[in-house]
C-alpha cells in the first residue's frame, strides 16, 4: 500500500477523547507537519516509537487543540505499517477540522475497515481474527462479545490449522501408498484411513451444529408466558422487564393477542412474549388470540407456564390435563403469598413430568422473581457462559460445510472401491477449503465484502 490513510477512530458524537489515526508510509511526516512540541524545536528524527508526546495540533499558525501523539513504527503496529494516533478532545467539529488538515497534507480518507484490512494483508492477523474484530465492535450482548473475543484470540484459527495438519497427513499417507505401492512398505489399513476421515468430518459437522445453535440464540430466544386468564402473566412480564409493558386488569381476557418485547436477560438477547389467557370462550376474537397463544407456546425456546395458586383447585387433575404442556416447562406458581390450602407442589413435580421446574413467586411481593429469572437463564442452556458455543461467520460456515461434503464423498468413493488416485481428489478439495478458513482469499471482491461491514477508522 503506497498511500497513507486517515480517519477518526472513535465513535461519532461528543466525548472526552477523540482519536485520529493515520497508517501508511507517510503517516509520520504528515502528522508531524501539524504538531507543535512544547520543547520548541523538535526534529522528526527525535520521535521515538511507542512514546507518548504532549503537544499542540496546529493548522499553519492556528492552534487547534492540545493533544497526545503516539507513533508506532511498522511492522510493529496494528496495521503492520507506520501508524500514528493523535488523541485530541472529543468534539466532533474539532476532530473533523483536524482530519481535514491531514487530508490536505497528503493523507486520503480511509474506507470502511481499511485499517483492519491492511493488518490482514500485512500478515498481522488472519481473516478469522479480522472478522472477530468486527463482531467485537458490533456485539449486542455479553454472550456475543465473549464468542467474538474467543475468535479474536485465535480459537477458530487454531482449530482450522489443526484440521489442516490432519488433512495434510492424510493426503501424504494416500500419496505415499500410490507412489510406493510396489515397495515393501507398511501403510495404515483401509479401515483406519476411513476412521481418520470420519473423525475430521465429524469435527466439522459438530462445529456447524454448534454454530447453528449459537446463531439461533443470538437471534433472540423466545420465552413465552402461558396460562389461564388472571394468573398474573402480564404482571410477571412487567416485573421481568422492569417496566409496565402489558396491560394489567382483573377482567379476564384483557390480553387478546400476544405482546412481545426484546431485551437482554443475563447478557443474552431474548424475546419475552405475553400471550392471551387460555380458557373456553365463545368470543371469536378471543378464540383467535388463544390459538395464537397455543402456537407461540409450542414454538417457544423456553416455556413459562403461569398458574394461580391462590385459587382452590384439584392440582392432580390439573397436572394430568396439562401434562404435555408441563413437560420441560418452567412453572411459575404465582400468588404464593396468598396460596390456597389446596395447593400441592408435588402435583406438578411428579416424576412423569420430566424437565419440569417449579418456582413459587409473588408478583405483589416480588418473592421468587430472582429464582425465576435464574431458571430461565438455565433453560437457555447456561448462556452466562459461552464455553459450549462457537461463532462462525457465513464465510466459514460455507467452507466447513464444503469440507464435510468432500470428506463424505471421499468415504462414499472408498466404500465403492474407488482407487486412492480418485478419492484423494476429495481430500485435496477439503484441503483447499480449510486453507480458505484462515484467509487464503484471492479476490478483492471477497475482501471488500468482509471489511465493508466495519466502521470507518477500524
- Is the predicted pLDDT of residue 351 greater than 90, yes or no? no
Cα–Cα dist 314/400, whole Å: 54
In the numeric block, which cell numbers belong to residue 63?
492552534
Answer whether 334's CB lies under 8 Å from 308's CB. yes
Pairing of strands 5-8, 108-109: parallel
Q: Cβ distance 310 to 235 under 8 Å? A: no
Query: Residue 29's CB: how many other CB atoms inside 10 A?
Result: 15
Indicate the pLDDT class of residue 277, thresholds 50, 70 and 90. Answer: low
Query: CB 118: neighbour CB atoms within 10 A?
Result: 23
pLDDT band at 441 (very low <50, low <70, confident <90, very high): very low
With cut-offs at 50, 70 and 90, classify the pLDDT of residue 256.
Answer: very low
Higher pLDDT, 112 or 88: 88
Distance (Å, whole) CA 100 – CA 62: 14
| Alpha carbons 382 and 376: distance in angstroms, whole number | 9
Residues in Cβ contact with 213 at an 8 Å cutoff, skipping those fewer than 6 apart: 389
Mean pLDDT for the chain overall:
81
**Cα–Cα nearest to 404, from 264, 211, 231, 258:** 211
Residue 228 and residue 297 in contact, taking contact as beta carbons nearer than 8 Å: no
Running DSSP on this structure, what letter comes out for residue 228? Answer: S
Q: Is the pLDDT of residue 305 over 60?
A: yes
- Residues 271, 223 contacting (CB under 8 angstroms): yes
Confidence of residue 251 (pLDDT cuts 50, 70, 90): very low
If phi > 0 it is left, if psi is from -120 to 50 it is alpha, else beta; for residue 401 that is: alpha
Q: Shortest CA distance to 228 belongs to which of 323, 344, 318, 346?
A: 318
As a whole number of angstroms, the distance between CA 330 and CA 317 comes to 19
What is the rounded CA–CA span in Å between residue 205 and residue 255? 44
Q: Which of 260, 216, 229 is nearest to 383 (CA)?
A: 216
Distance CA 118, CA 426 (A): 33
Stretch 70-93: mean pLDDT: 94
Categorize the per-residue pLDDT at 208 as very low, low, confident or very high, splitting at 50, 70 and 90.
Answer: very high
The C-alpha cell that represents 453 in the structure block: 461491514
Size of the chain, expressed as the number of residues it contains: 458
**What whole-number distance in Å separates Cα of residue 239 and Cα of residue 233?**
10
Mean pLDDT of all residues in 341-350: 82
Grid cell digits, residue 149: 473475543
- Please report the pLDDT score of residue 249 as a whole number: 45
Q: Say what the pLDDT of residue 301 is.
A: 79
Say what the pTM is.
Answer: 0.61
Considering 31-45, 88-102, 119-133, the range whose residues carry the highest mean pLDDT is: 88-102
Listed as own residue / partner, the contacts of 163-168 with beta carbons closer than 8 Å and 24 or more positions apart are 163/200, 163/203, 163/204, 163/403, 163/434, 164/431, 164/434, 164/435, 164/438, 166/196, 166/200, 167/200, 167/427, 167/430, 167/431, 167/434, 168/431
Q: Looking at residue 244, what is its pLDDT?
A: 62
**Most trustworthy range by pLDDT among 10-19, 169-178, 316-325:** 10-19
Percent of the chain whose pLDDT exceeds 70:
81
Amino acid at each position: 500500500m503506497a498511500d497513507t490513510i486517515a480517519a477518526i477512530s472513535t465513535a461519532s458524537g461528543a466525548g472526552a477523547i477523540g482519536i485520529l489515526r493515520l497508517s501508511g508510509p507517510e503517516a509520520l511526516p504528515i502528522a508531524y507537519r501539524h504538531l507543535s512540541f512544547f520543547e520548541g524545536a523538535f526534529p522528526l528524527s527525535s520521535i521515538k516509537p511507542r512514546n507518548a508526546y504532549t503537544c499542540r495540533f496546529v493548522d499553519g499558525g492556528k492552534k487547534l487543540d492540545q493533544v497526545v501523539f503516539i507513533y508506532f513504527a511498522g511492522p510493529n503496529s496494528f496495521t503492520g505499517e507506520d501508524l500514528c494516533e493523535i488523541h485530541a478532545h472529543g468534539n466532533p467539529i474539532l476532530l473533523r477540522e483536524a482530519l481535514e488538515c491531514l487530508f490536505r497534507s497528503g493523507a486520503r480518507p480511509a474506507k470502511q475497515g481499511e485499517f483492519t484490512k491492511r493488518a490482514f494483508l500485512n500478515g498481522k492477523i488472519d481473516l478469522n481474527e479480522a472478522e472477530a474484530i468486527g463482531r467485537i465492535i458490533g456485539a449486542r450482548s455479553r454472550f456475543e462479545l465473549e464468542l467474538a473475543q474467543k475468535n479474536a484470540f485465535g480459537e477458530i484459527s487454531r482449530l482450522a490449522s489443526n484440521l489442516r495438519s490432519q488433512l495434510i497427513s492424510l493426503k501424504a499417507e494416500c500419496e505415499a501408498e500410490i507412489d510406493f505401492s510396489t515397495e515393501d512398505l507398511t501403510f495404515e489399513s483401509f479401515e483406519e484411513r476411513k476412521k481418520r476421515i470420519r473423525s475430521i468430518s465429524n469435527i466439522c459437522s459438530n462445529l456447524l451444529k454448534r454454530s447453528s445453535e449459537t446463531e439461533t440464540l443470538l437471534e433472540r430466544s423466545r420465552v413465552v408466558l402461558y396460562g389461564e386468564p388472571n394468573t398474573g402473566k402480564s404482571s410477571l412480564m412487567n416485573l421481568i422487564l422492569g417496566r409496565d409493558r402489558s396491560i394489567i386488569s382483573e377482567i379476564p381476557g384483557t390480553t387478546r393477542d400476544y405482546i412481545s418485547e426484546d431485551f437482554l436477560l443475563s447478557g443474552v438477547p431474548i424475546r419475552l412474549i405475553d400471550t392471551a389467557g387460555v380458557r373456553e370462550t365463545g368470543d371469536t376474537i378471543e378464540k383467535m388470540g388463544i390459538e395464537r397463544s397455543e402456537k407461540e407456546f409450542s414454538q417457544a425456546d423456553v416455556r413459562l407456564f403461569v398458574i394461580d395458586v391462590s385459587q382452590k383447585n384439584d392440582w392432580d387433575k390439573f397436572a394430568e390435563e396439562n401434562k404435555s404442556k408441563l413437560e420441560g416447562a418452567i412453572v411459575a406458581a404465582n400468588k404464593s403469598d396468598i396460596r390456597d390450602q389446596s395447593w400441592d407442589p408435588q402435583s406438578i413435580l411428579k416424576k412423569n413430568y420430566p424437565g419440569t421446574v417449579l418456582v413459587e413467586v409473588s408478583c405483589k411481593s416480588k418473592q421468587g422473581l430472582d429464582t425465576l429469572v435464574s431458571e430461565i437463564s438455565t433453560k437457555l442452556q447456561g448462556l452466562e457462559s459461552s464455553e459450549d458455543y462457537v461463532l462462525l461467520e457465513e464465510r466459514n460456515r460455507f467452507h466447513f460445510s464444503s469440507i464435510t461434503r468432500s470428506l463424505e464423498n471421499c468415504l462414499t468413493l472408498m466404500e465403492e472401491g474407488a482407487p486412492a488416485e480418485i478419492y484423494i481428489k476429495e481430500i485435496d478439495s477439503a484441503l483447499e477449503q480449510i486453507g480458505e478458513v484462515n484467509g487464503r482469499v484471492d479476490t478483492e471482491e471477497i475482501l471488500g465484502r468482509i471489511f465493508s461491514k466495519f466502521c470507518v477508522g477500524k
